[in-house]
A and B are shown apart, each in its own frame.
Chain A
Amino acid sequence: MKFLHTADWQIGRTYSQFEADSADLSRARIDGVSRIAQLATELQADAVLVAGDVFDSQTPRDKTILRLFEAMGGYDGPWILLPGNHDAALPESVWQLARRLKLVPANAVLCLVPEVLEVQGRNGGRFCVLPAPLTQRHTHTDLTEWFDRAETPEGLLRIGLAHGSVAGILAEHVDSPNPIAAGRAERARLDYLALGDWHGTKQVDARTWYSGTHEPDRFRTNDSGNALVVEIDGPGALPRVTSVRTAAYRWMQLDLHVLDAADVERAAEALAAIDATTVADVALSGTCDMGTQARLQDALESAERRAAAFSARQTALRLAPTEEDLQALHADGFVGAALTELKGQLQGPQADVAREALLQLARIQRDIQGKGLVSANASKAAAA
Chain B
Amino acid sequence: MKIKTIRVEGFKRFRDAFTLDQLSEGVNLIAAPNGSGKSTLAEAVRVGFQERHRTASLGEMLAPWTQPGASPSVQIEFLHDGKQYRVAKTFGGKKSCTLDIEGRAVTGEDAEQALAEMFSFSYAGKGVSKPEHQGVPGLLWVRQGAAGEIGTPVASAHEYIRRALGDDMGELAATAGDRVIERVEGELGGLLTRGGKPTGEYARQLEQLAAKQDELTAIETNIVEYETAVDRFGSLQARHAEGARDKPWERQREEAKSLEEQLQALAAIERQRAERDLERQVAEGRVVQCTEQLGAFDLDDKSVQERAEELQAAQARDGQTLEQVRSAEAALKSAQEADAAAREKAVLARHAAARQSHLDQQKAANARRTQLERQISGIAEHQAELARHQAEPARLAAFAGAGKKLQTAEATLVTARARLEAVSTRLEYDLRNGGVRLGGAMLVGAGTRTLSEPAEIEIDGVGTIRVLPGAQDLSELQAECNRAQRVLSNALQAMGVTSVEDARRGEDDLRAAQAKVKQLEVLVAGLAPEGVDALRAEARKAEGDEKRHAEALSALPPGVDPGISVAAAEAEEQVTQKSLRDAQAAHERAREEAGGAQAQLRIAKRELEAAQARISAPGREDRRRLVQRELLAARAECEEKLEGVRQLDEQLKAARPDQLRLDIQRLAKSASALEAAHSTVGAELTHLAGQLQAKGALGLQEDAASLRDKIARLERQVAERSGRAAALTHLLAVLTEKRAEVARGIRAPLQLHMNHYLGIQFPGMRIDLDDALRPARITRSGQHGAETGSFEELSGGEREQLGIIARLAYADLLKNAGKPTLIMLDDSLVNSDLVRLAGMKRVLYDAAQRHQILIFTCHQENWLDMGVAPRTLQ
What residues make up the interface of A, taking CB atoms closer than 8 Å to B?
Answer: 12-17, 19-20, 22, 56-62, 64, 90-94, 96-97, 100-101, 136-137, 332-338, 341-342, 350, 353-354, 356-357, 359-361, 364-365, 367-369, 372
Q: Are A60 and B702 in contact (CB under 8 A)?
A: yes
> How close is A67's CB to chain B, nearest CB, in angstroms?
12
- Chain A residues with CB under 8 Å of B373's CB are none
Q: Are A335 and B223 in contact (CB under 8 A)?
A: no
- Chain B residues with CB under 8 Å of A56's CB are 701-702, 705
> How close is A356's CB to chain B, nearest CB, in angstroms?
3
Q: Does B716 contact A (CB under 8 A)?
A: yes
How long is the Cα–Cα vector from A336 to B738 in the complex, in angstroms?
9
Q: Are B171 and A19 in contact (CB under 8 A)?
A: no
Q: Are B728 and A360 in contact (CB under 8 A)?
A: yes
- Chain B residues with CB under 8 Å of A90's CB are 230-231, 233-234
Between A and B, 5 residue pairs with Cβ closer than 8 Å are A14-B706, A332-B174, A333-B175, A356-B723, A356-B730
- Chain B residues with CB under 8 Å of A57's CB are 701-702, 705
Tell me which of A12, A361, A367 has the highest count of chain B C-beta atoms within 10 A of its own C-beta.
A361
- Chain B residues with CB under 8 Å of A334's CB are 172, 174, 177, 735, 738-739, 741-742
How long is the Cα–Cα vector from A136 to B235 in the complex, in angstroms?
11
Q: Are B696 and A335 in contact (CB under 8 A)?
A: no
Q: Does B786 contact A (CB under 8 A)?
A: no
Q: Does B183 contact A (CB under 8 A)?
A: yes
Q: Are B176 and A97 in contact (CB under 8 A)?
A: no
- Chain A residues with CB under 8 Å of B187's CB are 360, 364
Q: A90-B234, A334-B177, A335-B174 are in contact. Are A59 and B696 (CB under 8 A)?
A: yes
- B699-743 residues with Cβ-Cβ distance < 8 A to A are 699-703, 705-706, 708-709, 711-713, 716, 723-724, 726-728, 730-731, 734-735, 737-739, 741-742
Q: Are B696 and A361 in contact (CB under 8 A)?
A: no
Q: Are A337 and B689 in contact (CB under 8 A)?
A: no
How long is the Cα–Cα vector from A56 to B708 in the complex, in angstroms?
15
How long is the Cα–Cα vector from A368 to B702 in the complex, in angstroms?
48
- Chain B residues with CB under 8 Å of A13's CB are 705
Q: Does B560 contact A (CB under 8 A)?
A: no
How long is the Cα–Cα vector from A20 to B727 in the complex, in angstroms?
26
Q: Does B146 contact A (CB under 8 A)?
A: no
Q: A90-B230, A333-B175, A335-B738 are in contact. Are A19 and B693 (CB under 8 A)?
A: no
Over the window 125-156 of chain B, the binary record of Cβ atoms lying under 8 Å from chain A Cβ atoms (1 yes, 0 no) is 00000000000000000000000000000000
Among candidates A60, A100, A137, A365, residue contacting B699 with C-beta atoms closer than 8 Å: A60
How extensive is the interface on chain B, given as a class?
Answer: 35 or more
> How close is A314's CB to chain B, nearest CB, in angstroms?
12
Q: Are A361 and B180 in contact (CB under 8 A)?
A: yes
What residues make up the interface of B, taking CB atoms closer than 8 Å to A?
Answer: 171-177, 179-180, 183-184, 187, 223, 226-227, 229-231, 233-234, 237, 688-689, 692-693, 695-703, 705-706, 708-709, 711-713, 716, 723-724, 726-728, 730-731, 734-735, 737-739, 741-742
> How close is A179's CB to chain B, nearest CB, in angstroms?
21
Q: A57-B701, A59-B702, A60-B702 are in contact. Are A333 and B693 (CB under 8 A)?
A: no
- Chain A residues with CB under 8 Å of B712's CB are 16-17, 19
> How close is B696's CB to chain A, nearest CB, in angstroms?
5
Main secondary structure of the interface of A (DSSP, over half): helix
Q: Are B709 and A16 in contact (CB under 8 A)?
A: yes
Q: Which residue of A lies closest to B701 (CB)?
A: A57
How long is the Cα–Cα vector from A97 to B702 in the complex, in angstroms?
14
How long is the Cα–Cα vector from A281 to B464 in the complex, in angstroms?
213
Among candidates A15, A359, A368, residue contacting B180 with C-beta atoms closer than 8 Å: A368
Main secondary structure of the interface of B (DSSP, over half): helix
Q: Are A368 and B179 in contact (CB under 8 A)?
A: yes
- Chain B residues with CB under 8 Å of A61's CB are 699, 702-703
A92-B696, A97-B697 are known; give 9 further A-B pairs, CB within 8 A. A56-B701, A57-B701, A59-B696, A335-B735, A338-B735, A360-B184, A360-B187, A361-B184, A368-B176
Q: Are B742 and A62 in contact (CB under 8 A)?
A: no
Among candidates A333, A354, A369, residue contacting B171 with C-beta atoms closer than 8 Å: A333
How long is the Cα–Cα vector from A342 to B187 in the complex, in angstroms?
19
> How close is B647's CB to chain A, nearest CB, in angstroms?
64
- Chain B residues with CB under 8 Å of A22's CB are 706, 709
How long is the Cα–Cα vector from A112 to B693 in the complex, in angstroms?
18
- Chain B residues with CB under 8 Å of A101's CB are 697
Q: Which residue of A lies closest to B734 (CB)?
A: A338
- Chain A residues with CB under 8 Å of B180's CB are 335, 361, 364-365, 368
Q: Are B174 and A12 in contact (CB under 8 A)?
A: no
Q: Are B708 and A354 in contact (CB under 8 A)?
A: no
Q: Which residue of B lies closest to A135 (CB)?
A: B234
How long is the Cα–Cα vector from A16 to B176 in the complex, in angstroms?
43
Q: Are B724 and A356 in contact (CB under 8 A)?
A: yes
Among candidates A14, A62, A91, A359, residue contacting B708 with C-beta atoms closer than 8 Å: A14
Q: Which residue of B lies closest to A20 (CB)?
A: B713
> How close is A355's CB to chain B, nearest CB, in angstroms?
8
Q: Which residue of B lies closest to A94 (CB)?
A: B696
> How close is A28's CB to chain B, nearest CB, in angstroms?
15
- Chain A residues with CB under 8 Å of B226's CB are 58-59
> How close is A275's CB to chain B, nearest CB, in angstroms?
24
- Chain B residues with CB under 8 Å of A341's CB are 734, 737-738
Q: Which residue of B lies closest to A57 (CB)?
A: B701
Q: Are B699 and A62 in contact (CB under 8 A)?
A: yes
How long is the Cα–Cα vector from A322 to B33 in the complex, in angstroms?
69
- Chain A residues with CB under 8 Å of B695's CB are 59
Tell me which of A336, A350, A369 has the highest count of chain B C-beta atoms within 10 A of its own C-beta.
A336
Q: Are B237 and A91 in contact (CB under 8 A)?
A: yes
Q: A97-B697, A337-B738, A368-B183 are in contact. Are A350 and B730 (CB under 8 A)?
A: yes
Q: Which 4 A-B pairs have the closest CB atoms?
A: A333-B174, A356-B727, A61-B699, A57-B701
- Chain B residues with CB under 8 Å of A336's CB are 171, 174
- Chain A residues with CB under 8 Å of B696's CB are 58-59, 92-94, 96-97
- Chain B residues with CB under 8 Å of A19's CB are 709, 712-713, 716
Q: Are B702 and A12 in contact (CB under 8 A)?
A: yes
How long is the Cα–Cα vector from A354 to B716 in the complex, in angstroms?
20
How long is the Cα–Cα vector from A20 to B696 in the complex, in angstroms?
27
Q: Are A91 and B699 in contact (CB under 8 A)?
A: no
> How close is B323's CB to chain A, nearest CB, in angstroms?
119
Q: Which residue of B lies closest to A337 (CB)?
A: B738
- Chain B residues with CB under 8 Å of A361's CB are 180, 184, 731, 735
How long is the Cα–Cα vector from A96 to B739 in the complex, in angstroms?
71
Tell me which of B229, B705, B726 has the highest count of chain A C-beta atoms within 10 A of its own C-beta.
B705
Among candidates A58, A136, A337, A367, residue contacting B701 with C-beta atoms closer than 8 Å: A58
How long is the Cα–Cα vector from A100 to B700 in the complex, in angstroms?
17
- Chain A residues with CB under 8 Å of B175's CB are 332-333
How long is the Cα–Cα vector from A298 to B695 in the complex, in angstroms?
48
How long is the Cα–Cα vector from A20 to B229 in the complex, in angstroms?
34
Q: Which residue of A lies closest to B732 (CB)?
A: A357
How long is the Cα–Cα vector from A16 to B724 in the complex, in angstroms?
22
Q: Which residue of B lies closest to A342 (CB)?
A: B734
- Chain B residues with CB under 8 Å of A93's CB are 230, 696
- Chain A residues with CB under 8 Å of B174's CB are 332-336
- Chain A residues with CB under 8 Å of B711's CB are 16
Q: Are A360 and B693 in contact (CB under 8 A)?
A: no
How long is the Cα–Cα vector from A354 to B735 in the complex, in angstroms?
12
How long is the Cα–Cα vector from A341 to B171 in the complex, in angstroms?
14
Q: Are B727 and A353 in contact (CB under 8 A)?
A: yes
- Chain B residues with CB under 8 Å of A369's CB are 176
- Chain B residues with CB under 8 Å of A337's CB are 171-172, 738, 741-742
Q: Are B700 and A359 in contact (CB under 8 A)?
A: no
Q: Are B705 and A14 in contact (CB under 8 A)?
A: yes
Among candidates B230, B237, B701, B727, residue contacting A360 with C-beta atoms closer than 8 Å: B727
Among candidates A15, A62, A342, residue contacting B709 with C-beta atoms closer than 8 Å: A15
> How close is B707's CB to chain A, nearest CB, in angstroms?
9
How long is the Cα–Cα vector from A350 to B226 in the complex, in angstroms?
47
How long is the Cα–Cα vector from A335 to B724 in the complex, in angstroms?
19
Q: Are A92 and B230 in contact (CB under 8 A)?
A: yes
Q: A332-B175, A336-B171, A356-B724 are in contact. Are A342 and B731 (CB under 8 A)?
A: yes
